[in-house]
Amino acid sequence: MSIPSIVEAARALREGSITSVGLARQVLYRIAMVEAQLHAFLTVDTDGLMAGAEEADQAFAEGRDIGPLQGIPIALKDNLTTRNLETTAGSKILSGYVPPYDATVVKRLRQAGALIVGKTNLDEFAMGSSTENSAFGPTRNPWNTDRVPGGSSGGSAAAVAAGMSLGGLGSDTGGSIRQPASLCGVVGVKPTYGTVSRYGLIAFASSLDQIGPITHTVADAVLLLEVIGAPDPLDSTSYPHEMEPVGARLGRGLEGIRVGVASQLGGAEAVEPDVEAAFFQMVSAMERAGATTLEVDLPSTEQGLSAYYLIAPAECSANLARFDGVRYGLRVNGDTTEQMMSRSRADGFGPEVTRRVLLGTFALSAGYHEAFYGQAQKVRTLIREDLARAYRQCDVLVSPTSPTTAFRLGDRTDNPLAMYMSDVLTIPSNLAGHPAANIPIGLDRHDLPIGFQVMAPALEEALMFQVASAVEELAGFDTTVPFDPSHGLRGGVR
């Protein structure tokens, strides 16, 4: 029995053809079958899920309908705080931490009736592109368990791809939703910066972080984003105005849409041949479907990776300063406050986090601030200007989401720079604050999913989804992970 999409499930629940308890059981069955192989979750809230499902069925029976997600199981990346449910951000320093409050997005999901399946694995504090940096062990790719699911939202992407949840939330700082969605063959969306509240998202890099949906279909992503995206008085960076409903232009096709292909992105050297071929095949298909396509020049985007690897560590060095063993989390004792803090942090942070905190601290320190952080923020402006210029010629930009398909576990762990290259195509949208989506379009020669990225100007989610859903239709990609109950998932781990 295949797991329905959120839109299908929501309709079926209201028609009475399925029950929420049935959905929850189906999800828990999947978890029982494949979670041991995948390790997509850090916490599965079985009791909460079942209790919520019973309540939802009760509500449906009584004709109460509190919101579009009533009775739908959703998985949350473990850097979203959940009241009374352990939240670790994948870090030893927060092992056992139980927050006293819900993130705004969690509140909004609950208000819309969603059920929380559990908390998904991630690279520690969302720093990474493979979910191998989790303090609690890596997650594996459901398409091939020898491979990484991407990261940092690898747990959510794997959970959704493997049917362990109908949808999930991730966070995207440099590609952390789109890249794992690409590697796991699902839809992943990074909305415009500010359109989804960050209150309760454990910050990595505040000016880049955005929460977004990971789902099987574009329509599901639209539905989740409609629920979580709203102005929030608790996040002063949240966009306070009404915007065009994100699903307003679904189904309008590609007629008259001007699609830009950036030479720097589409033809980047590091893009694998299968990825490149699938990408250009899709661009041609879009042309045939009525879009006009053109090449655009984004000269500064090449420096995006460098700017990103200065800005994100700098912000993270301050954001992670609060983990000091005083009020919550891990404490390693010492004779003085300073010693206690230094030991707790050294012991509590993994190597990638330690590296970025050191990098960021240095980039901000006296004498280097202007040359590093200051310059990076100016380069960021140049990239925004590049994109603004491009959007005078075209409506959306497209590129592969990731230069490669899922790589093997351990392949890049010893080479931080190579790992960082995974984000080269996704980073520009974060630097500019623009929305971007991954849509799975096919498989490579190893049967690994290939993702296609649609980028749009700030606040143009409706346009982005219009194009994304047309791409989804053109690709006709089946997001269901091949799963043989007698053999489980493909790959080396059984």
Q: Kindly list the catalytic residues.
A: 77, 152, 176
Contact positions with other proteins (CB under 8 A) in 349-378: 349, 354-355, 357-359, 361-366, 369, 371-378
Q: Which is nearer to other proteins, 31 or 89 (CB)?
A: 89
Name the β-bridge partners of 408.
147
Q: Which is nearer to other proteins, 164 or 436 (CB)?
A: 436
Q: Is 325 in the site for other proteins (CB under 8 A)?
A: yes
Distance (Å, whole) CA 149 – CA 243:
33
Using CB under 8 A as the binding criterion, the count of chain residues that bind other proteins stands at: 125
Exposure of 378 in the CB half-sphere (CA atoms within 13 A): 7
Near other proteins by CB under 8 A: residue from 6, 75, 161, 307? 307
8 A C-beta contact, residue 488 and residue 33: yes
* Segment near other proteins (CB under 8 A); pick from 23-31, 220-228, 248-256, 302-310: 302-310
Helix and strand tally (H, E) in the chain? Answer: 16, 11
Q: Is 66 in the site for other proteins (CB under 8 A)?
A: no
* Residue the block writes with tokens 């790959």: 491
Contact positions with other proteins (CB under 8 A) in 171-210: 192-194, 198-203, 205-207
Q: Which is nearer to other proteins, 62 or 242 (CB)?
A: 242
Q: Which is nearer to other proteins, 220 or 324 (CB)?
A: 324
Q: Is 87 in the site for other proteins (CB under 8 A)?
A: yes
Q: Is 261 in the site for other proteins (CB under 8 A)?
A: yes
Smallest separation (angstroms) from other proteins to the CB of 219: 26
Dihedral sign of CA atoms 263, 269, 274, 275 in order: negative
b/e per residue 88-117 (b: at least 16 CB within 10 A)? bbbbbbbbebebeebbbbbbbbbebbbbbb
8 A C-beta contact, residue 272 and residue 403: yes
Structure-token pair, residue 195: 């359109």
- Sketch the per residue contact string, 430 through 449, with other proteins: x for CB under 8 A, - otherwise: -xxxx-------xxxx-x--
Name the β-bridge partners of 396.
259
Contact positions with other proteins (CB under 8 A) in 274-293: 274, 276-278, 280-281, 283-284, 287, 293
Q: Is 58 in the site for other proteins (CB under 8 A)?
A: no
Contact positions with other proteins (CB under 8 A) in 448-487: 458-459
Is-cis flag, bond preceding 152, omega within 30? yes
Near other proteins by CB under 8 A: residue from 32, 61, 66, 326? 326
Distance (Å, whole) CA 448 – CA 411:
16
Residue 65 three-state SS: coil
Contact positions with other proteins (CB under 8 A) in 28-57: none
Terminal-residue alpha carbon distance, the chain:
22
Q: Is 417 in the site for other proteins (CB under 8 A)?
A: yes
Q: Is 342 in the site for other proteins (CB under 8 A)?
A: yes
